[in-house]
Structure 1
Amino acid sequence: MAKTILAVDDSASIRQMVSFTLKSAGYEVVEAVDGQDGLDKAKSRSVNLVLTDQNMPRMDGLTLIKSLRGLPQYATTPILMLTTESSDAMKSQGRAAGATGWLVKPFDPQKLIEVVRKVIG
């Protein structure tokens, strides 16, 4: 059975690129338009990995990560940040919130697949 990835990004074009890349590698992808939508979708189904942007309306990526980490079913689920933010301070905040890893946009599709395979197989 295909592993499911929740892709959270307010940019439709980024969601499409992420979704296309991951589906072509055999993963099932659930898309969310912002952190709140991502949290709602994560609560309503089980996912193997969360891939989230940082800067989004309604709820940003760090708040989403903290919210997911507060739920028992997501205490150990890998969460990757996929964002334009690349400062050490932001990465530290991401780690503190519970992010598993960090990818900077624009992303290399092959690199994204490699990282996802490394994290969830």
Structure 2
Amino acid sequence: MSKRIITVDDSPSVRKMVEFSLKSKGYVMGSAGDGVEALELLRQEPFDAIILDVNMPRMNGLEFLENIKNDENLAAIPVIMLTTEGQDEDRDKAMALGATAYIVKPFKPTQLLSLLEEIL
């Protein structure tokens, strides 16, 4: 069975690029433009991993991460941060909140694919 991945990013172009790269390798994709939309989707459908931006409207990535890690039904889903926030402080905060990995944009799709294969 194909693994299901949700991309949460307010940039439609980033979501499309990630979706294109992962669909070509057999992943089933979902997407959301912010944390609020993503939480709604995650409560309706099962996903095997989350690819998450930090800077988004309504609910940013760190708030979203904190929400899912405090939800017993969602806490075990691995989260890969994919963001422009490259400072050690940003990375440390995300990892402390429960992120599985942290990739700084710009990124290579092969880097993301390798990480997903390792995690899943």
TM-score grouping bracket, smaller chain normalisation: over 0.9
Separation in structure 1 between the aligned mates of residue 8 and residue 80 of structure 2, nearest angstrom: 10
Alignment of 1:31-110 (within 5 A): 31-110=31-110
List per-residue Cα deviations over 1:63-84 (Å, max 9, x = no partner). Answer: 1111111111222211010000
RMSD: 0.7
Provide, for residues 82-104 of structure 1, a one-character-per-residue CA deviation record: whole Å limited to 9, x for no partner.
00011110011101111111011
Q: How does 1:10-29 map to 2 (within 5 A)?
A: 10-29=10-29
Gaps of 5+ in 2: none
Q: Tell me how far 1:107 sits from its aligned partner.
A: 1.3
Q: Number of residue pairs matched?
A: 120
Following the alignment from structure 1 to structure 2, what is the Cα–Cα distance between the partners of residues 72 and 45?
Answer: 15
User: Offset of 1:117 from its aligned partner?
Assistant: 0.6
For 1:26, give the aligned amino acid. Answer: G
Q: CA–CA distance in 2 between the matches of 1:69 and 1:81?
A: 14
Identity between Structure 1 and Structure 2 (%): 39
2:8 aligned partner: 8
C-alpha separation in 1, matches of 2:14 and 2:80: 15
- TM-score normalised over the length of structure 2: 0.97
Give the counterpart letter for 1:56 in structure 2: M
Unaligned runs of 5+ in 1: none
Q: CA shift at 1:32, angstroms?
A: 0.4
* 2-structure distance, mates of 1:43, 1:75: 12
